[in-house]
Amino acid sequence: MEPLELQFSVDCAPERAFETWAERTSLWWPSGHSVSAEPGLAVIFEPRPGGRIYERTPRGEEHDWGEVLEWEPPRRLSYLWHLRFDRADATEVEISFAAAGEQTTVTIVHRGWERLGAKGAERRERNRKGWAGVFEAYRATCAMPLQ
């Protein structure tokens, strides 16, 4: 099954784009795209291969979303992704950040659908719609002044 391949631009340098994706995720990730759906949750990427990706609710509950495979700031990040699913059903997300003048081109390749058997096509389509639902908030956060 073909990977999802998505590409868009943000108004910042690759360093800022990577940081916003992996270290400031809580500022732009919609709570409805989480396990708890609680406002005010924190999204954490542990910055190393083997690091956890998880949400922490305001009450301190943690829910695993994935595992970092490669951490190469500011140009590349890849991880296993199993938000709301068992780790055995993880897919792989690879994100690259490339300078394009005063902007950064962000490329997402989301693969591994074939491992899901009959569920793969439906999960792929759900993720295609899900990614489309986060881009604008990510773009806006990239453009915000650092605080």
Confidence at 27, pLDDT banded by 50, 70, 90: very high
CA-based angle 139:142:146, to the nearest 5? 150
What's the CATH fold of domain 4-143?
A: Alpha-D-Glucose-1,6-Bisphosphate; Chain A, domain 4 (3.30.530)
* pLDDT at residue 15 in the model: 97
Confidence at 34, pLDDT banded by 50, 70, 90: confident
Query: What percent of the chain has a predicted confidence (pLDDT) above 90?
Result: 80
Average pLDDT, integer, range 128-134: 89
Domain ranges of the chain: 4-143
Query: What percent of the chain has a predicted confidence (pLDDT) above 70?
Result: 99
Beta-carbon contacts of 18 under 8 Å, excluding residues fewer than 6 positions away, are 73, 74, 75, 77, 97
Count H helices and E strands in the chain, helices first: 3, 7
Q: Which has more pLDDT, 84 or 108?
A: 108
* pLDDT at residue 147 in the model: 65
* pLDDT at residue 71 in the model: 98
Average pLDDT, integer, range 39-67: 96
